[in-house]
Amino acid sequence: MINFPINEILPALGEFNITLTEKQIENLNKYANLLIEWNEKMNLTAITEPSEVVWKHFYDCILLFKDVDIKKGARVIDVGTGAGFPGMVLKIVREDINLTLLDGLNKRLVFLSEVLEELNLSASVVHLRAEEGAKKAEYREQYDYAVARAVANMNVLSEYCMPYVKVGGCFAALKGPAGREEAENAKKALSILGGGKTTVFAEGHQNIGERTIVVTQKVSPTPQKYPRISAKISKQPL
């Protein structure tokens, strides 16, 4: 087993009052080892160097807690979760979260199911395309928070994610340096989909570069015709 340098991020996390227990550090280390092991047989991540995994995956995901006050027991859906970022990391740090991991590729969910079992954590693992899940009553507007990381441009991503958020909840996108510009270009889409105030938080660290977290409040229900089929979403963004 590789010993991932989780301790490297502890001082930076402490700056926004996140303290990891020994158990959480152990769980992150187990998760990282499973990620590297499974990555040899399927494409989960291009980032494999231990320190980079800790900073560019784990720290990057935990930054969400700096800017979004996720209430205790909140229902959170990670749309297009991939290898589990940010959802799995959020669950390790805040076990009280009621988490749903949604992805259209089943083999990723097989991997995440093993991670959950190994770490003795519980989450709903849902094999559906984002636009399909958002049409189902058991998922549509059922979540306090929808989160997504590095999935698509904001004007596209918002149509996939906003339908999952209940009125009064919020959609949080973890983006790179272009997040502010993307949010500006997505204003119309977010408004059509029931979004209200959008706040862009500029984040980052010398070990991850510039990051942004774009947070949109949900103020009205998403019209039933959204989301559209995937081809229309990508070819004709709102």
Q: Establish if 69 belongs to a structural domain.
A: yes
- Write the DSSP symbol of residue 122: -
> Which secondary structure element, helix H or strand E, spans residue 114, and what is its range?
helix 106-119
Q: Establish if 222 belongs to a structural domain.
A: yes
Q: Which domain holds residue 71?
A: 6-235
Q: Establish if 132 belongs to a structural domain.
A: yes
* Calpha distance 170→143 (Å, rounded): 9
Is residue 230 within 8 Å of residue 159, measured between CB atoms? no
Is residue 175 within 8 Å of residue 134, measured between CB atoms? no
pLDDT at position 194 over 80: yes
- Counting Cβ atoms within 10 Å, is residue 127 exposed (0-12), middle (13-18) or buried (19+)? middle
> What is the longest distance spanned by two Cα atoms in the chain?
49
* Calpha distance 110→136 (Å, rounded): 22
CATH number at 204 reads 3.40.50.150
pLDDT for 178? 94
pLDDT for 74? 98
Residues 170-182: tens digit of each pLDDT: 999 999 999 999 9
pLDDT at position 237 over 80: yes
Q: Fill in the amino acid letter for 28.
A: L
Outline where 16-85 has alpha helix (H): 22-39, 50-52, 60-62, 64-67
Q: What average pLDDT does this structure show over 47-60? A: 96
Give the whole-number percent of the chain exceeding pLDDT 90: 98
Domains identified in the chain, total number: 1
Q: Establish if 14 belongs to a structural domain.
A: yes
Q: Fill in the amino acid letter for 109.
A: L
Q: Establish if 82 belongs to a structural domain.
A: yes
Q: Which is nearest to 214 in space by CA: 140, 142, 145? A: 145
Ramachandran angles phi, psi of 232, nearest 5°: -70, -40
Q: Establish if 44 belongs to a structural domain.
A: yes
Residues 200-212: tens digit of each pLDDT: 999 989 999 999 9
pLDDT for 150? 76
Q: Which is nearest to 84 in space by CA: 115, 51, 38? A: 115
Interstrand relation of 195-205 and 209-218 (parallel, antiparallel or unpaired): antiparallel
Q: Establish if 20 belongs to a structural domain.
A: yes
Q: Establish if 1 belongs to a structural domain.
A: no
- Residue 20: pLDDT band with limits 50, 70, 90: very high
Residues 72-102: tens digit of each pLDDT: 999 999 999 999 999 999 999 999 999 999 9
> Which secondary structure element, helix H or strand E, spans residue 117, and what is its range?
helix 106-119
> Which secondary structure element, helix H or strand E, spans residue 15, and what is its range?
none
Q: At what angle do helices 106-119 and 22-39 cross, to 10 degrees?
A: 150
Residues 136-192: tens digit of each pLDDT: 999 999 999 999 997 789 999 999 999 999 999 999 999 999 999 999 999 999 999
